[in-house]
Amino acid sequence: MSRQPVRARAYAPDPNAPGRCCDLPGCGAPGEYRAPKSRRELREYWWFCLEHVRAYNSTWDYYKGMSPAEMEQELRSDTAWQRPSWPLGRLGSAAWEEEVLRDPLHILASGGINGGINNRSRPRGANESPGDLREPLSTLGLTWPTTLDAVKTRYKELAKRHHPDANGGSRDAEERLKTINLAYATLRSRLVAEPRLASTG
């Protein structure tokens, strides 16, 4: 039976200590514990002995001297690991062009991520699909207007491709096929009940 490595205790001396005395004036103990000099110099350290690093840490206040607005800004910045971030699509649609982000099954389009951003400025027109058919159309990878024959052809193609028997009994393929079946049933029932719907938009 192998023994697990012994973890260093929290108060163990820093192995990277420079081998000098404690930075507190008048203390001759080894400075084996580091502490940041200030919040603006977090990678510049004082080196203290154990007693004095404990005293230093007990009075350390990162937010000391900050206004409430500065504290809020610092907290918001910390949520993104101090890196700049923007809402999705804020940098323009170029990053979401079809050549950059391929979505052959139109899965992202159903959430308005791919295509939805690029089409955001287009005016509403006769070719815009009814709201309740957008997700089924996206699932089958079809655009509006469409026909019952086009829906059937696309359904057969996707059903064959995603059938569990064609994917080694994959559960993911089975779930995808259920989604495809539901989308097909929704489109078929609407187009059969309202055959002029596709032509009128």
Q: Which residues contact 52 (CB under 8 A, 6 or more apart)?
A: 22, 24, 27, 29
Q: Which of 91, 88, 75, 19 has the alpha carbon at shortest distance from 49?
A: 19
Pair (21, 101) in one structural domain: no
Q: What band does 118 get if pLDDT is binned at 50, 70 and 90? A: very low
Pair (60, 105) in one structural domain: no
**3-class state of residue 41 by DSSP:** strand
**Residue 28 and residue 135: Cα distance in Å, rounded?**
73
In a domain, 78, yes or no: no
In a domain, 178, yes or no: yes
Residue owning tokens 């690991």: 81
Q: Which residues contact 91 (CB under 8 A, 6 or more apart)?
A: none
Pair (24, 103) in one structural domain: no
Please write the tens of the pLDDT for every residue from 4-49.
Answer: 665 556 678 888 888 899 999 999 999 999 999 988 888 899 999 9
In a domain, 72, yes or no: no
Pair (104, 178) in one structural domain: yes
In a domain, 145, yes or no: yes
The domain spanning residue 176 has which CATH number?
1.10.287.110
Pair (61, 144) in one structural domain: no
In a domain, 5, yes or no: no
Please write the tens of the pLDDT for every residue from 53-67.
Answer: 999 999 988 888 889
Query: Domain limits at 186?
Result: 95-200
Where on the phi/psi map is residue 190: left (φ > 0), alpha (ψ -120 to 50), or beta?
Answer: alpha
Pair (149, 54) in one structural domain: no
- Largest Cα separation within the chain, whole Å, is 93
Please write the tens of the pLDDT for every residue from 139-190.
Answer: 898 888 888 899 999 999 999 988 888 888 888 888 889 999 999 999 888 8
The CA–CA distances, whole Å, from 20 to 3, 49, 51 equal: 35, 10, 15
Pair (99, 182) in one structural domain: yes
Asked if the model's pLDDT at residue 51 lies above 90, the reply is: yes
Q: What's the total number of domains in the chain?
A: 2
23: tokens are 């930075």
- Give the helix/strand (H/E) hosting 2: none
Asked if the model's pLDDT at residue 105 lies above 50, the reply is: yes
Judge contact between 20 and 47, C-beta under 8 A: yes
Pair (36, 123) in one structural domain: no
pTM to 2 decimal places: 0.38
The string of DSSP letters for 124-151 reads P-TTSPPGGGHHHHHHHT--SS--HHHH
In a domain, 146, yes or no: yes
Average pLDDT over residues 92-114: 57
Pair (102, 48) in one structural domain: no
Pair (126, 189) in one structural domain: yes
| pLDDT score at 112 | 55
